[in-house]
Amino acid sequence: MEFLLENILNLVGFLVGLVIGIMSYIGFRNTGSPTLFRLTIAFFSISSGFFVIWSGYMIEDFVLKSGNIERWIQTLGIVIQTVGYFFIAFSHSIKSFFPKSRYFRSIGIFPLFLVSSVQLEHIFRSISFILLAYGAIETMLSYFENKNKGTISVAVGLALLALGEFLGWYSFLFPESILYSISMIIKIGGLLALFIPISKVPLTKIKFDEGLE
Amino acid sequence: MAEYRTHMKIIGDILATTRDDLRDEDGATVTYLIRKANISHSRISRILKTLVSQGLLEQVDSQGSNKYKISQSGREFLQAYYTFTNFAENFGLSI
């Protein structure tokens, strides 16, 4: 059951991220907007992250048959997704996410070499949670300003992804519980909520750049 | 309090003015665009120069003064601008 949910989640994440990434890229090519460029990086990263984890499960299931996904593949996928979540949060003006001090910047990366990939996974899950929660709050605040129905769907989507990420991170305390499966179902719901408003963008009316056709 | 407008929004406002507000086929004068877009002369001059060089606006010499008309590429850009403004708004962002 967990394996099936994991595969559905990663495939849905890969496809939703890819579609939104492509649409952002088309928008960037047509308007040159830096916001759309950041969204392009964000959603291509999210899509790639889900794809890496999905590939890991497939390789494990059909090639290695070890019964457990290689931990570093899962960690790598989560790190790539976190980069995407960072760019969503960054688009909402996180301008001082990294410490400004040169000293902190120089040692900031050092502790990562002292922890195992399991701990790294939990560190990046918690970072993802913070970024997603920030993105959800900012998007919700934007909804109060523009009253755009699509905005509330994206806010709910980001909030569900944040909740799923939190439960996924918390589930390491209860490894055999249903918590991890619930977190995956919530994340699938979040990805679908993200996709709903994007699916209504009338792209057919736009004459795309020659190179994109 | 005045609303903050991005560079892209100002460009959108200028193109929308040249497309929607003008009955005069000759185009809009710089003075008219300054009033509608609410920006300084030096800034609008730079933007108009860029828009003409990109083929989004056409410069027309009418009775000794320069006027600006939206081109077909400008109309397509404006349509894309509206579509992707809506797309970005879904994320609570502006382009």
Q: What's residue A100's pLDDT? A: 47
d(CA A137, CA B84): 22
Q: What is the CATH number of domain B7-86?
A: 1.10.10.10
Nearest residue of A to residue B88, measured between CA atoms = A36
pLDDT (0 to 100) of residue A171: 80
State the helix-helix crossing angle for A71-91 and A34-59, rounded to 10 degrees. 170
Q: Is the ipTM of this complex over 0.95?
A: no
Condensed to tens digits (0 to 9), the pLDDT of residues A63-80 reads 877 767 777 888 899 999
Residues 6+ apart with CB under 8 A from A147: none
Look at residue A103 and tell me whether its pLDDT is greater than 80. no
| CB neighbours of residue A77 within 10 Å | 25
What's the whole-number mean pLDDT along residues A175-192?
Answer: 88
Q: What 3-state DSSP class applies to B24?
A: coil
Mean pLDDT over A161-188 rounds to 86
Quick check: A108 pLDDT over 70?
no
Q: Does B55 touch chain A (CB under 8 A)?
A: no
Mean pLDDT of A192-199: 90
CA distance B74 to B55: 7
- Neighbour count for residue A182 (Cβ, 10 Å): 16
For CA atoms A91, A75, A100, A44, give the dihedral sign. negative
Answer whether residue A114 shows pLDDT above 80: no
Percentage of chain B surpassing pLDDT 90? 13
Q: What pLDDT, in 10s, does the model give residues B37-80?
A: 888 888 899 999 999 998 999 988 877 778 888 898 899 889 88
Rg from Cα positions in chain A = 18
Is B54 in CB contact (< 8 Å) with chain A? no
Q: Give DSSP secondary structure letters for A141-209.
A: HHHHHH--HHHHHHHHHHHHHHHHHHHHHHGGGSTTSTHHHHHHHHHHHHHHHHHHHHTTS-GGGS---
**Looking at the complex, does the CB of residue B64 fall below 8 Å from at least one CB of chain A?**
no
Please report the pLDDT score of residue A20 as a whole number: 95
Mean pLDDT for A140-155 is: 90
How sure is the predictor about A179, in pLDDT bands with cuts at 50, 70 and 90?
confident
Which of chain A's residues have a Cβ under 8 Å away from the Cβ of B81?
Answer: 31
Say yes or no for a CB contact (<8 Å) between A154 and B92: yes
The arithmetic mean of pLDDT across residues A144-170, rounded, is: 91
C-beta atoms of B88 and A39 within 8 A: yes
How many residues can be counted in chain B?
A: 95
Task: State what percent of residues in chain A have pLDDT above 90.
Answer: 45
CB count, 10 Å around CB of A80? 20
**In Å, how far is B89's CA from the nearest CA of chain A?**
7
Instruction: Please determine, for residue B1, whether its predicted confidence score (pLDDT) is greater than 50.
Output: no
Cα A193 from Cα A49, distance rounded (Å): 19
Provide CB contacts within 8 A for B7, sequence distance 6+: none
Question: What percentage of chain B carries pLDDT values higher than 70?
Answer: 91
> CA–CA separation, A71 vs A30, rounded Å?
40
Candidates B83, B89, B93; nearest CB to A206: B83
pLDDT at A118: 63
In sequence order, the 6+-apart residues with CB closer than 8 A to the CB of A194 are A16, A20, A153, A154, A157, A158, A161
- A91: number of Cβ within 10 Å: 22
User: Tens digits of per-residue pLDDT, A15-52?
Assistant: 999 999 999 999 998 888 888 999 999 999 999 999 99
Query: Cα separation of A94 and A100, whole Å?
Result: 13
**Across all residues in chain A, what is the average pLDDT?**
82
